[in-house]
Chain A
Amino acid sequence: MSLADLWSILPQTLLEGLLLGFVYAMIALGYTMVYGVLELINFAHSEIFMIGGVAGLEVFRYLSNGKGLEVHNPFLLLFLALVVGGGVAGLVAVLVERLAYRPLRKRGTINRLVPLITAIGVSFLLQDLVRAIEALWHNEFFLRYPTYPLLEKTFFLPLGMTIQTKAILVIVIAVLMLLGLNYLVNHTKLGRAIRAVAQDMNTAALMGINPDAIISRTFLIGGSLGGVAGVLFGLMYTVISPYSGFLPGIKAFTAAVLGGIGNIPGAVLGGLVLGQLETVGGTYLSFLTAGNFGSEYASVLAFLTLILILLFRPQGLLGQNVGEKV
């Protein structure tokens, strides 16, 4: 193992880290937006992400199984999968809020732990619900994304990097979604209402905003982003199961905290940083420690960095120190 070899894969490593980072960023947004308006860590969000991935896969399946409608263009298929994946995930997120969180809020539950535990419960419920549905429907629930030559085409870039069509699509779609969200939150009426509810729900209500409707929409937006991320994740890493949401979900939650929870640009930055930490760590750790710490320590490295950053900046990279709401 020469130093030249180590250098030669660095550009590719950073590229893979970037891809993973975008996926994390899109999931992290769901956590951060819900936290922004409700101060609730929505642990069910990792399952919303997974549901998006599974729903997207069903589109691929249904439209290319030779029985029903046939769509042969993989780009069109992917587009439909993204729309359905994002849509289904967003709707499930809204339903979860309506059925599980809102009743607690209406009862004036003051203890923050109660909704948190509910979120964990919903997370388990959704996992096994998807497992049950897929098992009854297809008799299997470890699902594989199909591969299409058009999406797998490899391009050679300078510095020895290679990139596949689908990876380019992941970056393009992720960037578009993030820009769209930025516009939505900062330049539209709905965005202003979301920010108002996040700042102070009661005052916002006095100004004629219906907080429940805004919270519902926040869940819809965050859930759809998570669902789209689920489809992209499945496309990149080719497998999805009812349990695939857990780890990426925890990582994305970490990214949201790293960037400053409640802060939208922070979630994106946190996702990108975490994606790099994990990929670079996983690739180089064993080389740099002469094989003593293998790639399985990548998560340890990532979380260690998180702890260090939070020690010095408890509010996260871009978070602001907000005084306690009164």
Chain B
Amino acid sequence: MRKTLLVVIGMLALGIASAQSNVIKIATVSPLSGGQAVLGEAIKLGAQLAIEEAQAKFKAMGFDLQLTPQDDQATPDVGVAVAKRIVNDPDLLGVVGHLNSGVAIPSSEVYKETNLAMVSPANTNPRVTDRGYLNVNRICGRDDVQGPVGADYAVKTLKKKRLFVIHDKTAYGQGLAEAFAARAKELGSSVVAFVGTEEASNFQPLILQMRALKPDLVYYGGIYDKGGVLLKQMRERGVVATFMGGDGLDSSDFVRIAGKAAIGSLYTSTAGPADLFPKAAAFAKNYKAKFGKNVESYSIYAYDAANVLLSALEAAIKANGGKKPTREAVSKAVREVKMDGLTGRIEFDNKGDRTLSDYYVFYMKTDSYPGVVQKVIQFAPPKR
């Protein structure tokens, strides 16, 4: 009898302890393994730096702030499985992620069920925010602007007439390639081929098509792990057309894979390089000192995304009288955030897009990452 009582008391104590838990967790969800791990890790490390800087401040408010990095393997079903697992953790109040739009779209459906705030550093597909969910936000730009920005540059500045457009059949790659092709057609260039492929190693059929169609520009909507291989094989087989892509190529690994073939190629991005943001210099130095790696463009965006979540958390805690807020309160507070991040002024519209985003065109002058910025344009998200 006495034993039972002890057990009951013990369980009660445990129950009370967990109910009053003062732990607040923020998750990063991005590919930490696989061919896109370089960008995925950049997102994790950027957010980690922001969270470690804020830990003392949250300690003063009585909370233990923690980061839980998750691996979505750049695969939609893994992303959803991770999402389903982490939403069950009551201490989790925010997500920084994902890298791939095709993973973010289904995963955010899971976050939406509990109104878990997600701030994306890198998901550019329009559908991510166009669904109008309260909890979904991004601090990067959109493909329905990024694609046309690329097309404008290719057609108006570079005067390219025959465009060969390839995509990787993901939500991100296909959406970007379609936006690019549509705008290029509007401007009077001809899209001589528009093909999707999931191939990762043997691009010979596409290269043979290029030899027949003689395009003057090849556009790739997809990620560097395949784009770099495609470019390398193109050059080996003597295809000289200019190579262009979107922010999926915006990674040091693109250059590492393609090698010298990367010289002369172009990519658009919604993330600027560290040296373009005056405040990012110190961040880049800390990052290098702490992790021994150079910043990738999206590390800065992940840092800002984490800081958006942290400042929303702070506001929500204050509004809740110093107690732990609900997920919904945090999601609402994210939309109200007005702050100066490393990447400039951050404010959200009612869909979760930034009121103004930057778009960049890069040119690979040498085979060292990042490329040289050719053009910077600021755009508001398109109104519908």
A interface residue numbers (CB < 8 A to B): 1, 5-6, 8-9, 12-13, 16, 20, 135, 140, 142, 144, 147, 152, 154, 162, 164, 233, 237-239, 241, 244, 278-279, 281-283, 286-287, 291, 294-296, 298
Contact = CB atoms under 8 A, between A and B. Distances in A.
A236 B236 CA distance: 10
A164 B208 contact: no
Contact of A16 (B33, B208, B229): B208
Given A144-B257, A154-B238, A241-B35, A294 B208 contact: no
B40 to A, nearest CB: 13
A238 B256 CA distance: 12
A176 B169 CA distance: 39
28 contacts: A1-B212, A5-B213, A9-B208, A12-B211, A16-B204, A140-B37, A142-B34, A144-B257, A147-B232, A152-B236, A154-B238, A162-B238, A164-B236, A237-B233, A238-B233, A239-B229, A244-B200, A279-B204, A282-B204, A282-B205, A283-B205, A286-B209, A294-B195, A294-B197, A295-B199, A296-B195, A296-B197, A298-B205
Interface of B: 33-35, 37, 169, 192-202, 204-206, 208-209, 211-214, 225, 229, 232-233, 236-238, 256-257, 259
A239 B200 contact: yes
A67 to B, nearest CB: 19
A142 B251 CA distance: 15
A146 B95 CA distance: 39
Given A16-B204, A16-B205, 16 more contacts: A1-B192, A9-B212, A12-B211, A147-B232, A154-B238, A238-B201, A238-B233, A279-B208, A282-B204, A282-B205, A283-B212, A286-B209, A291-B194, A296-B169, A296-B196, A296-B199
B212 A295 contact: no
A152 B232 CA distance: 12
Given A1-B192, A142-B225, A283 B233 contact: no
Contacts of B209: 9, 283, 286-287, 295
Contacts of B198: 296
B165 to A, nearest CB: 11
A74 to B, nearest CB: 15
A143 B142 CA distance: 32
A292 to B, nearest CB: 11
Nearest to B205: A282
A6 B212 contact: yes
Contacts of B206: 282, 295
